[in-house]
Amino acid sequence: MSQKSLIGKTVLVVEDDPKIRQLLNIYLTKEGYEVTEAVDGLEAKEKIEALDPCILILDLMLPKISGEELSRWVREDLKSMMPIIMLTAKVSEKDRIQGFKLGADDYVVKPFSPAELMVRIEAVLRRTASRCGKLSFTGFTIKPAKGEAWINGKQLELTHFEFKLLHTFMQHPNQVLSREQILMSIYEKNEKSVSDRTIDVHIKHLREKIKEKTPKDYIQTVRGMGYKFVAL
């Protein structure tokens, strides 16, 4: 599995068993996913609304709000097509059919193999790639379709080109990008006559706006080569 292909893949694990949460966190982090957790259905609702994860690993037997209710809320109230993998001790054919009717993309019975679950997650994400409308990495979250960006939960007020710059950098973490590569990525064909100086100005303004929210320097200048978005 390519680490690069997982950039932005935020997994919400909703499970009341701390041992299972810890096990999944270890495996998912090792595979390159960004992991957040919820211990009950109510906390899960809050995190889904706040974080908009790319996939939900959902135990069905949860305190406060059941996994079934949560799944129904995601599909019917939120109208979200967020991929859902149900993780449960319910083993009957009737339970599995009900899970799929509630909108599950996969159904995994406990006890399970963590390695097999990783493969299932990858397969579900491949099938549902178009559903994940955001990119999250190293504290940043952006929604390309909406043109919205945040750093550590604080919204960044970016111009159109600043947003496209950030999007380009987040798609190529720890890679040196030349000004020509950046230009090709963010400008339309009829705008290719812009100068390197214009790119530098946009990057300067983007850096300033990021530094208003955090002291870390995420965009570094590589002398004679271009710029690099550093995953700190």
- Whether the CB-CB separation of 60 and 86 falls below 8 Å is answered with yes
Structural domain count of the chain: 2
**Domain span at 168:** 135-229
Shared domain check, 124 and 30: yes
Indicate the burial class of 42 (C-beta count within 10 angstroms; 0-12, 13-18, 19 or more): middle
Q: What is the CATH number of the domain that holds 194?
A: 1.10.10.10
Distance between start and end Cα atoms, the chain: 22
Order across the sheet with 154-156: list the strands. Answer: 135-137, 140-143, 148-151, 154-156
Shared domain check, 91 and 190: no
Shared domain check, 150 and 73: no
Q: Could you say which of 131, 162, 185 is where a domain stops?
A: 131
Query: Tokens for 183?
Result: 């230009």
Q: Indicate the pTM of the whole model.
A: 0.61
Query: Tokens for 30?
Result: 């090792």
Note down pLDDT in tens along the chain; length 232 residues: 444 444 457 899 999 999 999 999 999 999 888 899 999 999 999 998 887 788 999 999 999 999 999 999 998 888 778 899 999 888 788 888 888 888 899 999 999 999 999 999 999 888 876 666 667 777 888 877 567 888 988 899 998 888 889 988 988 888 999 988 888 877 654 444 556 778 889 999 999 999 999 888 899 999 999 999 987 6
